[in-house]
A and B are shown apart, each in its own frame.
Chain A
Amino acid sequence: MARFLFIRLLQTLPVLWAVATLTFFMVRYAPGGPFTAEKSIPPEILKRLEAHYGLDQPLGVQYLRFLKNLVTGREPSIRHANRTVGEIIRESFPVSLELGSWALLIALGIGLPAGMLAAQKPNTLQDYVPMSAAMVGVGLPTFVLGPLVVLLFALKFGWFNTSGWNAPSDRVLPAFTLGCHLAAYVARLTRGGMLEVMGQDFIRTARAKGASGWRILTRHAWRGGLLPVVTFLGPAAAGLITGSFVIETVFNIPGLGKYFVGSVFDRDIPVVGGTVFFFAALILFFNLLVDIAQAWLNPKVRLE
């Protein structure tokens, strides 16, 4: 196990380096720069601005400075002038982490039981109802569902605030919107995975021995049946807890998601680097967790 972890951690280094390098050159070569504005800046001012942020240096030097910032997070943001990249992530990540965790709970809480139910009696009403709902959930983007739940539960019924991140109740609508969307995927994956396992020999054996349907589901089938969900959840969870641009915009939430999109629009190079790198590291970390979970769920998978 220790050896496995060590090798996996070593493997992440080249991946992170590749992500960082690609990010740097893509944002550096994108047309327009951080100071491109509708009112063009006098050339001598522009020169000094670029000098201040080291953008007048040879590309190699800029690249090294960019890499260094990924480790220290001390580089100031260009768009948010009095804060550093590290501060931006420290301030906004807890918000996204909380929202993402609630959403994940909702997604699993709805998605897993729905998928299990459907798999238990495929091609019956018990399958069609949750799966049709899931199709609606998959097809309904969050930028539609978000405003819809606001109109209904905030403006019509007045149960919640339309947006914001102050009262505890402000978590409900965004977490629900984000969670519902994901629940749909979870439900479909659970159903698929479960159905596959239910058709296998060891399940038939269990049935032959007279085990009840419920017992088969909760004792034998779930381990194998949930493998696709677990695999999916790794990157999905990393995505959830680093914030969603759409949800944060619709509900005006001070999360990290805004920076992913905003920093690219602003060509705010240090923040683009910091957020992308952070996200990449999280994905790798969650994939590692997934591998460990898979080994635990499926005896056929060996960590070595």
Chain B
Amino acid sequence: MKPIFLVATVGLGLALAGCKKSDSPAGSGSAQSAKKGDVKDAPSRIDGKMVLLRGNGAEPSDLDPQLVTGVPEHMILMGLFECLTGQDPKDLHPVPAAAERWEVSADQLTYTFYIRKNAQWSNGDAVTAHDFHRSYRRILEPTLAAQYAYMHHVVKGAQDYNEGKLKDFAQVGYKVVDDHTFQITLVGPTPYFLSLVNHTSWMPVHLPTVEKHGKAYERGSKWTRPENFVCNGPFTLAKWEVNQFISIVRNPKHWNAAAVKLDEIRFLPITDQATEERMFRDGKLHVTDTVPPTKIEVYQKNSPAYIRIDPYLANYFYRINVTKPPLNDKRVRQALALAIDREGIVKFVTKAGQIPAFNMTPPGTAGYTFRSSGSAGVAEAKKLLAAAGYPDGKGFPSVEILYNTQDTHRSVAEAIQQMWKQNLGIEVKLLNQEWKVYLDSQRQLNYQICRAGWTGDYVDPNTFLDMWLTGGGQNETGWGNKEYDRLITEAGRTADAAARLELFQKAEAILMDEMPILPIYFYTRSHLISPKVKGWHPTLLDLHPYEHLSLE
């Protein structure tokens, strides 16, 4: 046995020594990367062209803006298509895009968009009001079964048409006034409407092209392949190498082409964070999709110019199934909420500058910040638990936290398990499930406490609060409250901005008193980004309009 051990140890020793050697004979271009912690910058020109290289998470499922649902698709589509309104690169407020201006009626129900006369599709056709009319009909057609069609439900008649209750599209609130004037009539005043129409589901598609390669109102058209693709954005689709990269290049037909600085953007699908980080360090990417949590501190310490962490319009929370004891008692839920040390979680577990959350809506969402009643401490939590019949956690039945299989979720759950044990004296078990199994359990209320996350669809408190309506599709807690439903519905009818936000305040106060959810933290988005990238501003939705980006 001994010699084997000896050899193995020596072999391993050699391998480790090889790793540690600091300045070794260099191959080509290794001089910069030889030093530990050094990052090689990606080149700002490839063959004389300004090409942005961007890590983009998963391989996109499709590039049909009316059918896709994911973030990676959104990142590509915002370069390819242009909505009626665009987004300001600094704070995403609505700016003219396909529409050069718009008017809002006094009752805030009718929006009239004036589409610019020089707007063109990438095949040279003019972009007209008819294009928007036909596109919005397509996404609402029941046969298309578009998952994000509900984003149009703020428009008069849209929901009925989408659900097949209304057969005549002429009755839906879209109207072509003339070739360049498009009018939209809403169900109720919707202060966030101009931001809503930036979403992928509001992008126009070139119907003649869709029909040429399939059926207009059904899935499965091949129009999104590069050779067939027609779009109206600042970039057009040049290449789609599956699982390698998608390349979009400047669209010379775009009305604002002269202002676009980048010649090309390449989106690389990289699912593994560590792989992406190594590519970034090797100068193969200008911007990464994420940063591995273990690398955040390393970059902050060694190369702070290369890392950015910005607030993001999303939160991390636990759903509680309020239909089963002991969690049907709101005092128990309140006690659990109070006994979580959120500061500790963001500081020692998640580590990416997340903001501890004591309510549902991220602070500063469209001018709305929840007025917290001040947070009570662990003593209060113990009192509540005792009042519910479990003094010092005695007799508390076994409770389980469900999360989808992932390291971060496990660490957070373990931390909370420990906090509840220490602060309340109760034992909870942890259970992890594969993503879809977990989603299924959550939907079926087949859980007691369950990890969850929510990203805002648009910048308005409504996107975080209307999901808790009684029986709502995203509620999944079994919780319902008549007064809450009334407040949210009334907010949807209120035109006065201040009064509307006040209704949200009241509603959220109910939510946070009833505690069908335990807010934990508000997400941040972290990127590794080359300092050469200019025009990349922190925005709440982590969107960065490409026409404003450039490389030094």
Contacts and interface: CB of A to CB of B under 8 A. Distances in A.
Interface in B447-488: 453, 473-474, 476
Given A154-B282, A163-B275, A30 B437 contact: yes
A44 B163 contact: yes
5 contacts: A44-B163, A52-B218, A156-B19, A156-B34, A255-B243
A147 B61 CA distance: 28
A39 B474 contact: yes
Given A32-B440, A48-B145, A163-B275, 15 more contacts: A32-B435, A40-B473, A40-B476, A44-B142, A45-B147, A48-B142, A81-B64, A128-B7, A131-B4, A132-B4, A155-B33, A155-B282, A163-B284, A253-B243, A258-B243
Interface stretch (A108-116, A201-209, A244-252): A244-252
B243 A152 contact: no
A192 to B, nearest CB: 16
B156 interface: no
B87 interface: no
B284 A162 contact: yes
A248 to B, nearest CB: 8
Nearest to A154: B282
Nearest to B58: A262
Contacts of A155: 33, 278, 281-282
A157 B272 contact: no
Contacts of A79: 61
A76 B284 contact: no
Nearest to A249: B272
A228 interface: no
B397 to A, nearest CB: 25
A255 B269 CA distance: 13
Contacts of A231: none
Interface residues of A, number: 62
B443 interface: yes
Contacts of B145: 45, 48-49, 51-52
A212 interface: no
B219 A52 contact: yes
B118 interface: no
B349 to A, nearest CB: 21
Interface in A118-169: 125, 128-129, 131-133, 135-136, 147-148, 150-152, 154-159, 161-166
Contacts, number: 167
Interface of B: 3-4, 7-8, 11-12, 18-19, 24, 26-30, 33-34, 59, 61-62, 64, 67, 69, 142-143, 145-147, 149-150, 163-164, 218-222, 224-225, 241-244, 268-272, 274-275, 278-279, 281-282, 284, 434-437, 439-441, 443, 453, 473-474, 476
Contact of A158 (B7, B33, B62): B33
B436 A36 contact: yes
Nearest to A40: B473
Point out which of B3, B145, B269 has the most chain A C-beta atoms below 10 A from its C-beta. B145
Given A81-B219, A150-B278, A162-B278, A42 B150 contact: yes
B27 A38 contact: no
B298 to A, nearest CB: 14
Interface of A: 30-33, 35-45, 48-49, 51-52, 76, 79-83, 91-92, 125, 128-129, 131-133, 135-136, 147-148, 150-152, 154-159, 161-166, 249-255, 258, 265, 267
Contacts of A267: 436
A252 B4 CA distance: 36
B4 A38 contact: no
B441 A31 contact: yes
A35 B67 CA distance: 13
Contacts of A154: 278, 282
Nearest to B69: A37
B59 A80 contact: yes
Contact of B69 (A39, A52, A157, A258): A39
A133 B149 contact: no
A184 B5 CA distance: 17
A252 B270 contact: yes
A162 B270 CA distance: 12
Contacts of B269: 252
B278 A133 contact: no
Given A82-B225, A129-B7, A252-B279, A92 B26 contact: no
Contacts of B440: 31-32, 36
B211 to A, nearest CB: 15
B528 to A, nearest CB: 14
A42 B473 contact: yes
A128 B268 CA distance: 45
A152 B142 CA distance: 55
Nearest to B7: A132
Nearest to B10: A132
B162 to A, nearest CB: 8
A156 B67 CA distance: 43
Contact of B27 (A36, A159, A163): A159
Contacts of B279: 162-164, 252
Nearest to A33: B436
A13 B6 CA distance: 51
Contacts of B284: 161-164
Contacts of B27: 157-159
A254 B245 CA distance: 10
Nearest to B220: A76
A156 to B, nearest CB: 7
A37 B219 CA distance: 19
Contacts of B24: 156-157
A255 B241 CA distance: 12
Nearest to B281: A155
Contact of A254 (B28, B242, B275, B437): B242
Nearest to A44: B163
B437 A31 contact: yes
A169 to B, nearest CB: 11
Contacts of A32: 435-437, 439-440
A164 B369 CA distance: 45
A255 B242 CA distance: 10
Contacts of B142: 44, 48
Query: 6 shortest A-B CB distances, which residue pairs?
Result: A32-B436, A158-B30, A254-B243, A48-B145, A81-B62, A32-B440
A158 B8 contact: no
Given A39-B474, A81-B67, A252-B270, A152 B278 contact: no
Given A132-B11, A158-B27, A38 B67 contact: no
B330 to A, nearest CB: 25
Contacts of B474: 39-40
